[in-house]
Amino acid sequence: MGNVYDFTVKDRLGNEVNLGEYKGKVLLIVNTATGCGFTPHYEPLEAMYKEYRDQGFEILDFPCNQFADQAPGSDDEIHEFCTVKFGTEFPQFAKIDVNGETADPLFAYLATEKPFEGFGKGLKMAALKKFADANNKKFGDKAYIKWNFTKFLVDREGNVVTRFEPTFDMDEVKKAVAAAL
């Protein structure tokens, strides 16, 4: 695969979407969950989307239930939760797997382009690492994503620029998005 534009994914209604439709835009691709401690990330994500979408910025939201069953609802239930609770307007796709034999090829690609480098330092990060390692043990070398709300920044040419673990400060994510625009 050359870049993210080579992938096709399913929207939340089950329709195929070629990511080539996003050529020329800066993308933030995120795996999400509605019952996670990081679910409040939806708020700064939506704020960023509103601020930058007219400059060619898109957030692509992929719900995933592989981390402690924190996204158990249907695609419609997840979408309703996000739009009612956080007012999200950015595109939300069908729920996927991001790890293991059933991992969506897009996320396997993203994680290969920008592998996991750690959650950071501190007790909170160490606790998350321990929990994530236990959860992801079943995926072996196909544990591409370590937890919900991992974010990948993609430039206007479809290249993966950087990876943000859920523990990264959202202000840092915003600065990187602004620089990419």
Model confidence pLDDT, tens digit, residues 23-54: 999 999 999 999 888 889 999 999 999 999 99
Distance CA 40, CA 37 (A): 7
User: Is 36 among the catalytic positions?
Assistant: yes
Kindly tell me the sign of the dihedral angle through the C-alpha atoms of 126, 130, 131, 132: positive
Q: What is the pLDDT of residues 154-172, one digit of tens each?
A: 999 999 999 999 999 999 9
- For residue 38, the model assigns a pLDDT of 87
pTM of this structure: 0.94
Among residues 19, 36, 173, 180, the one annotated as catalytic is 36
Query: Which class is 4-180 in CATH?
Result: alpha beta
Q: What is the dihedral of CA 113, 116, 120, 121, to 10 degrees?
A: -150
Mean pLDDT of the chain: 93
* Both structure tokens of 3: 């870049």
Q: What is the pLDDT of residues 113-135, one digit of tens each?
A: 999 988 888 777 888 888 788 88
Written as one string, the DSSP assignment of 87-154 is ---S-BB--B--SSTT--HHHHHHHHHS------SSHHHHHHHHHHHHHHGGGGGG----STT-EEEE
Number of C-alpha atoms within 13 angstroms, CB side, residue 38? 25
